[in-house]
Structure 1
């Protein structure tokens, strides 16, 4: 969660210091991380995990839920992974822009 807190602090700072080199990359990268990784985890992956945790594993309901779980959870995990990669690339670009100016 430390990265999420850092992204919030960065976003607030950049809204106050918009003319800093790399500000747009910082802002968009932070938002990608906050929404695409933490947001997706909280709103999509955790509820799927919770639903799976309460079902009886050997029941027909468990088998049905597991099949749906694999598809849905894997999709949202791919979204999180993609968002994290994009966020890392944008935050890296922002550092590069700051050092070249």
Structure 2
């Protein structure tokens, strides 16, 4: 039983840290990266974001984003199976916030916007128009996933004391 408690604690800690780390990355984009890109001419902003979107797909960030999601899936199931235990509600809410509000929003909103930007021609009028919409929509959804990841980190952190 002690081993399973240690494993559960380790998963909670990994999840709390992962949620916080991902929230920090998204927070940086919401608070200054996107503002900096907005100040560039559309051609330069598009090219810069296209480059960012390519380099973001790397093993370290993918482990942080999706490794945390995998741990949250396990923790969500665990919280349902141990619903009677103290902290199960926080664990479930934190896990769902991350899975739906962070990963789900990323896959449903931010990735499709990135895919549309990837094929945009930075020199074209269509590219400039897409960029103007992209800045508003992508940043809005980034705010959502930032808040969700931060709230998830808080909820999972509360369960570390159990």
TM-score by length of 2: 0.59
Question: 1:79 corresponds to which residue?
Answer: 144
Figure out how many residues of one structure are paired with residues of the other and give that number.
Answer: 97
| Residue in structure 1 matching 2:110, options 45, 65, 69 | 45
Task: Give yes or no for the alignment of 1:32 onto 2:93.
Answer: no
What residue number does 1:61 align with? 126
1:6 to 71, 82, 93: 71
Distance 1:49 1:16 in 2: 37
Alpha-carbon offset, residue 77 of structure 1: 0.5
Offset at 1:95?
A: 1.7
Structure 2 CA distance, aligned partners of 1:57 and 1:34? 33
Deviation at 1:55, TM superposition (A): 1.4
Measured in 2, the distance between the counterparts of 1:55 and 1:36 equals 27
Q: CA deviation at 1:28?
A: 0.2
> Aligned partners of 1:90 and 1:9: how far apart in 2?
15
Tell me the equivalent position of 2:154. Answer: 89
CA RMSD in angstroms comes to 0.7
* Runs of 4+ off more than 4 Å: none
Q: Which runs of 5+ in 1 are unaligned?
A: none
Deviation at 1:49, TM superposition (A): 0.4
